[in-house]
Amino acid sequence: MTAEALEARPVPTADWVTIPDLHRNPFPIFRKMRDEAPVHWVPAVNRYMVTSYEACHIIENDQEIFSANETNSLMKRAMGHSMLRKDDPEHDVDRKSYGSVLRPKAIKEHWNAIFQANSDKYLARLKAAGPGADLIREYAAPYAAENLRLIMGFHNATQEDMQRWSQTMINGTGNYADDPEVWAASEQSYNEVDDAIDEILPYLRKNPDSSLLSGMTSMPIPLEAIRANMKMTIGGGLNEPRDVLGVAVWALLSNPEQLDRVLADTSLFPAVFEESVRWVAPIGMYPRETTRDTVLEGVQLPKGARLGVVVGAANRDPKIFEDPDSFNIFRAKKPHLAFGGGNHYCAGAWVAKASVAGIALPQLFAELPNLRLDPARPAVDAGWVFRGMTSLPVLWDSK
Amino acid sequence: MAKISFHHSDGNVDVLDVDPGTSIMRAAVTNGVAGIVGECGGQAMCATCHVYVRPEYLDGLPEIGDDEEEMLDCTTEERDGERSRLGCQLKAGEAFDNIEVDLPASQI
């Protein structure tokens, strides 16, 4: 045993943590855990939860010890074995099959115009619903879903299909309770996505466009991998931009001094975006598994330990972020972990920034005068593995 | 072993000896050199390992690829037409045996 291991302390147990408490508001729980140790065994979650920035950062940069290829992964069952549950070199082959579709040049040349058209369309829908409407339901969700549908090339599906597929398969990925109804809905979406891919690939071979699926037709990548990666992308590319958009609007409307500064200087929207994903990471936790006995930031972990990398907690680590629970777009710039890091760094990060900070946020605040929260119906934020606004009723001055 | 000298914007210098195949980004991240973030782990995807290569070391560097070119237009500190590179694309033993880089004031 190494000297390091001898000095390492055993993992404390956090038996006081419950899933309903995490779902309501995980941040006080994360704080209490992080203050005590960087890693805990959490019986309710059946995982080691890693809550310090330093430990999360170490994991992200060491796929030899902290493997993404988790045993008995719920995500593999719900979506197939996607690149998100592979290590390099296998991961790298899948990742390269995405080509340049999600990169800044393609966004500038192809996607921004499409995002703008979609924002126009769903902003009109929100306006038609009138003051008091739910911004998530009428705008953020369909906007994110329609953007993703076109980026992926699902010309044979609707944005409503995308929303249903995303939510049901995400529910499968988080089905720790093994609820058979959740699995049934998830499996139905699994099969619908496979059918949609089988139908659209021959069309895209004849009618190529800038989409992900079109790019796949000329890549040396097995159909099985395409199917799994597309499902992962449906799960990872819809709820997240929707949720950062909702959280950003809610945070600005709850902080009028900051909102005034942003309305006076719209070049601050990228800072609003970055602070929103730091403050409430849309994906709060993702899994890893140790490949050997190891010591993580002074804490002993056995081989085969199932870890939850809680980036939602790391992003509020006071060692890195001053006054971490405050939403502050003017805080000192530090790299947050909301997009993950290392080889699994979010492939959609540029798309999210362009569609949310570049188009949706500026347009919402420009076209909805005196946009404000509805005092009669408070907004609701919820979740911990995935967190965002479940409803956001808003008012504005309509002419 | 190859040598990398990181010149920080405050005048401090970090010098590392690294194994062949190690990129400037990886060397900085694994040795805790401040001023390089390397969010994406070396896929030329995030533009947070921007470095300014000192002029005397520019000869012999590999050409800037399409992905690197695209990302160099997304850096936080302004791109230098001659000296700007992504640290993840420059590997010891391939691009250099000894190199000195200036670090930008910010990567994000």
Residue B85 belongs to a domain: yes
User: What is residue A191's predicted lDDT score, i.e. its pLDDT?
Assistant: 98
Contacts of A343 in chain B (CB under 8 A): 40-43
Overall number of domains in chain B: 1
Length of chain B as a residue count: 108
Q: Does B79 touch chain A (CB under 8 A)?
A: no
Residue B14, domain CATH: 3.10.20.30
User: What is residue A4's predicted lDDT score, i.e. its pLDDT?
Assistant: 53
Cβ neighbours for A261, distance < 8 A, ≥ 6 positions apart: A268, A329
Q: How far B56 CA lies from chain A's nearest CA (Å)?
A: 31
| Cβ atoms within 10 Å, residue A333 | 13
Gap between the Cα atoms of A102 and B38, Å rounded: 19
User: What is residue B89's predicted lDDT score, i.e. its pLDDT?
Assistant: 96
Mean pLDDT over each residue of chain A, to the nearest integer? 96
Position A2 pLDDT exceeds 90 = no
pLDDT tens-digit profile of A197-223? Answer: 999 999 999 999 999 999 999 888 999
Position A6 pLDDT exceeds 80 = no
User: What is residue A308's predicted lDDT score, i.e. its pLDDT?
Assistant: 97
Gap between the Cα atoms of A359 and A274, Å rounded: 15
Percent of chain B with pLDDT over 90: 95
Residue B47 belongs to a domain: yes
Cβ neighbours for A56, distance < 8 A, ≥ 6 positions apart: A50, A309, A310, A311, A313, A314, A337
Percent of chain A with pLDDT over 90: 95
Which ranges constitute the DSSP H helices of A139-288?
141-152, 159-173, 180-206, 212-216, 223-237, 239-254, 256-264, 269-279
Position A369 pLDDT exceeds 90 = yes
Interface of A with B (CB under 8 A): 60-61, 95, 100, 103-105, 274, 333-335, 339, 341-345, 347, 349
Residue whose C-alpha is closest to residue A126's, from A356, A360, A358, A357 = A360
User: What is residue A220's predicted lDDT score, i.e. its pLDDT?
Assistant: 87
At A393 the three-state DSSP class reads strand
User: Hey, are the CB atoms on A345 and B45 less than 8 Å from each other?
Assistant: yes
Gap between the Cα atoms of A245 and A392, Å rounded: 11
Check residue B64 and report its DSSP letter: P
Q: Does B67 touch chain A (CB under 8 A)?
A: yes
Interface test with A, best of B45, B72, B86, B108 (most A CBs within 10 A): B45
How sure is the predictor about A398, in pLDDT bands with cuts at 50, 70 and 90? confident
Residue B108 belongs to a domain: no
Position A82 pLDDT exceeds 80 = yes
Gap between the Cα atoms of A297 and A39, Å rounded: 9
Position A318 pLDDT exceeds 50 = yes
At B46 the three-state DSSP class reads coil
Position B73 pLDDT exceeds 60 = yes
The CA-based angle B65-B71-B72, given to 5 degrees, is: 85
How sure is the predictor about A176, in pLDDT bands with cuts at 50, 70 and 90? confident
Gap between the Cα atoms of A171 and A178, Å rounded: 10
Position A329 pLDDT exceeds 80 = yes
Residue with tokens 């599906």: A157
List phi, psi (to 5°) of B15: -120, 130
Residue whose C-alpha is closest to residue A337's, from B23, B41, B86 = B41
Position A3 pLDDT exceeds 70 = no
pLDDT tens-digit profile of B2-35? Answer: 999 999 999 999 999 999 999 999 999 999 999 9
Residue B22 belongs to a domain: yes
User: Hey, are the CB atoms on B39 and A333 less than 8 Å from each other?
Assistant: no
Interface test with A, best of B30, B46, B79, B106 (most A CBs within 10 A): B46
Q: Which domain holds residue B60?
A: 2-102
Q: Does B107 touch chain A (CB under 8 A)?
A: yes
H/E run at residue A128: helix A112-129
How many CA within 13 A on the CB side of residue A68? 25
Position A264 pLDDT exceeds 50 = yes
pLDDT tens-digit profile of A27-76? Answer: 999 999 999 999 999 999 999 999 999 999 999 999 999 999 999 999 99
Q: Two tokens at A72?
A: 């008995």
Q: Two tokens at A148?
A: 């993703």
Residue B53 belongs to a domain: yes
Residue B80 belongs to a domain: yes
Q: Which of B30, B70, B107 sits opposite A104 (nearest CB)?
A: B70
Q: How large is the average pLDDT for residues A78-102?
A: 95
Residue with tokens 């060491």: A62
Q: Which residue in chain A is spatially nearest to B107 when comparing CA positions?
A: A335
User: What is residue A383's predicted lDDT score, i.e. its pLDDT?
Assistant: 95
At B93 the three-state DSSP class reads coil
User: Hey, are the CB atoms on A104 and B39 less than 8 Å from each other?
Assistant: no
pLDDT tens-digit profile of A268-296? Answer: 999 999 999 999 999 999 999 999 999 99
Gap between the Cα atoms of A213 and A205, Å rounded: 9
Q: Two tokens at A112?
A: 């921004």
Q: How large is the average pLDDT for residues A105-109?
A: 96
How sure is the predictor about A1, in pLDDT bands with cuts at 50, 70 and 90? very low
Gap between the Cα atoms of A31 and B74, Å rounded: 34
Residue B68 belongs to a domain: yes
Residue with tokens 């969700």: A141
Residue B82 belongs to a domain: yes
List phi, psi (to 5°) of A212: -60, -50
